[in-house]
Structure 1
């Protein structure tokens, strides 16, 4: 049986490879000559990459792919609005993937410069595809993989009812050798919060960065520009954006940059007519906000070929293919349209309601379904919360992608007046307790602060933390860590503004905004935390409440071994898979700006002696430095960069 594939892009090539593996006779007809250079690069989830890897069989060809660790959404003044860990997302250059797929096919199966014209029919069955160069390809099955402006689709169903072009996208690729963390492992996006205008930056291979500008053409627009005119337009429209944006534009070759008029259309009632079937963008065109197009093309090809080989007839195969894909595609179309509304009207969305512009293709549970909610009741001066840091940091690295963690400030020390917690009734008792805790947890802890400059309350740093959360969840976590290091290791009184300010600066927070929020909104948010603490009957810290759906919540109190937390997560979500830790000694310092010796040993699964040797070697390589104190050492990373 012969299959003629019209379109030699990712969908068509993938279908051809899979059909070859099933011993079909295949010919792929591509309208262009050579490897197409439009598209530059795209984001692909691991689901799509797994399909690509399965295609090669025993072939040794390798596909260059750049993995992404996080998604960071920022306003144009560099305030971080959203930061999420990315689970198995990659950036791949389109030319690399096309070359990779071409190498898996016999050269004679791909016919270039073959632009589709029309079909020849007999008894309502297509018997041949005719091309504008005069060539005719006869076949038994015809697959339309000719993209969003598909001529095959037009002949089957008539012109598509496209949605209006409300967003345009300019796409380029720059070689920026000087860009460092966080950009080299992060999908970074800057969004104007007053209008539909954004800039995105994604690391590809070979120190190249794919960038895009999404803009509402009602703001400003340009038609058929020269390279120079397009460069000027981009720089002008992004005039108020951060310096890193302009650095990327300076390194861009605008002669290969293009403008994409984004649009979509509703799901078709069928993806086939008779023996002609559509896949990829030819079957369903989506807006760019979901980054789903390439993965959809791969899954379409895999799904279609699977049904062709297993079904009793082509009609049955094509119907099953449509049934398995249509609902998923409809959901993606709706998400894309929701994201477009969010983009065009950013002022009408709160920071918390912003949708991450990425979707996974997994047929199993969605990531949202597999996440466990965690309420972490803590306090900036809680010594046990400091002692449990090695466990919590390992939990973040291995299971963070399965957790939604909310930090709750519990108000450990309102004041010393009438305060009594066990043996602690006054500051000198706290000093003795901290010295004991230092030995128990093997974490640097200096109790002298309670003798030299005792804190009067933990409310002030707690309110400051709630103020930091109003700017950025990620930076607030860094801020809390800075406060802990100041008070536990460097015996600094974190109720004093100068110390709070020092921690805020190191965490990348806006000081003026922090001070304003401390005086206003943060007080109310802290009161809400106290009420939540009372509601759940929490009286000791740390306390972590794990919950998922309608299952009974599970509570873990105090200092507990790592296995206790792991067991709790798996009891609520048995399918949770932990990420493997990177064995490279410098890996923990890519994730965290500072580590204690205990934390490093715990994260690297090494003994104290082994950990010390590795730390000394990292110092000799100038990757970290020592920050010594009476109670111990903080190892400061030189390779970590805050998401500023």
Structure 2
């Protein structure tokens, strides 16, 4: 725990941001997949106020048990929040009972050894393969395809998957999960600059406004949101996405966002993809 506290202190000093959020995920559970657009929106609007660290939970591919958010320390939130949750819209057709994610977990830690951004891109692509394409992401060939897609150094990546470094990084995630008593996915733990204060743990999936309210409470004031990027700029960095997620991120009705995507389709800037779990839009990189 002392080493963990020291790492947090160093993180605050290096990033000069008042909050740090630990995001505990099983990348292959539906709630964590559904949380992804909320986290993207939070980073776009309030990323200047926090750093985000992904932590893999030991109970990968386990079904979530539902538990209400504890607002004991946030009385103003309790009156507004109730038990609002976002309904699941995604389900994987892959047999999760026989799925063994250990190699996939090690591959995520190996990707992170090439940088935080590389690791995040790898996680997102692995989730796309799992939920959109129903791919067996415990297959080393699929894992390598994912690494190539996000432009990792392949020689280094393959070496790191089977390295002591990746194994230790995964064990470190398991230790952090144990220390913070995280057993359900997804979970977020919010820390402020005072490393003596306990973190606020939020388990489950909630509406975007709840996460903004928590940030507001922890910052002891209303944080000023950054201006959202243009839709096309966002798509260059997030080339495959569902229209429902775009509507959530940009606070627009789904039908209005669908019209925007169809306009881009007529301009040959995006194309529609029909996947097992629904319809997605893919940005065409050479369109600009």
TM range (shorter): 0.7 to 0.9
CA separation of 1:480 and 1:631: change in aligned 2, threshold 3 A? same
TM-score, normalised via structure 2 length: 0.80
Q: How many angstroms does 1:593 deviate by?
A: 2.3
Q: Do the aligned residues in 1 keep the contact of 2:18 with 2:193 (CA within 8 Å)?
A: no
Comparing both structures, which one devotes a greater share of its residues to strand? 1
Q: How many angstroms does 1:638 deviate by?
A: 2.5
Aligned to 1:545: 189
Q: For residues 602 and 491 of structure 1, what CA distance do their matches in structure 2 show?
A: 24
By relative contact order (CA 8 Å, sep 6+), the higher-ranking structure is 2
Aligned to 2:139: 496
Aligned to 1:487: 130
CA separation of 1:374 and 1:619: change in aligned 2, threshold 3 A? same
Q: How many angstroms does 1:474 deviate by?
A: 0.8
Q: How many angstroms does 1:491 deviate by?
A: 0.6
1:612 is aligned to 2:258: yes
Alignment of 1:340-489 (within 5 A): 368-413=15-60, 440-443=87-90, 445-447=91-93, 449-450=94-95, 455-489=98-132
Q: Do the aligned residues in 2 keep the contact of 1:411 with 1:462 (CA within 8 Å)?
A: no
The answer for unaligned runs of 5 or more in structure 2 is 1-6, 8-12, 67-85
1:529 is aligned to 2:173: yes
Match of 1:450, SS state, is: coil
Aligned to 2:154: 511
CA separation of 1:607 and 1:412: change in aligned 2, threshold 3 A? same
CA separation of 1:478 and 1:397: change in aligned 2, threshold 3 A? same
Aligned to 1:579: 226
**Residue-by-residue CA offset, 1:285-340 (whole Å, 9 max, x unaligned):** xxxxxxxxxxxxxxxxxxxxxxxxxxxxxxxxxxxxxxxxxxxxxxxxxxxxxxxx
**Residue-by-residue CA offset, 1:14-53 (whole Å, 9 max, x unaligned):** xxxxxxxxxxxxxxxxxxxxxxxxxxxxxxxxxxxxxxxx
Q: For residues 284 and 115 of structure 2, what CA distance do their matches in structure 1 show?
A: 23
TM-score, normalised via structure 1 length: 0.37
Q: For residues 31 and 134 of structure 2, what CA distance do their matches in structure 1 show?
A: 16
Q: Do the aligned residues in 2 keep the contact of 1:409 with 1:529 (CA within 8 Å)?
A: yes
How many aligned residue pairs are there? 253
Q: For residues 603 and 422 of structure 1, what CA distance do their matches in structure 2 show?
A: 26
Q: Do the aligned residues in 1 keep the contact of 2:15 with 2:51 (CA within 8 Å)?
A: no
Match of 2:113, SS state, is: helix
Q: Do the aligned residues in 2 keep the contact of 1:589 with 1:639 (CA within 8 Å)?
A: no
**Residue-by-residue CA offset, 1:200-242 (whole Å, 9 max, x unaligned):** xxxxxxxxxxxxxxxxxxxxxxxxxxxxxxxxxxxxxxxxxxx
Comparing both structures, which one devotes a greater share of its residues to helix? 2
- Indicate the RMSD between aligned Cα atoms, in angstroms: 2.7
Q: Do the aligned residues in 2 keep the contact of 1:372 with 1:404 (CA within 8 Å)?
A: yes
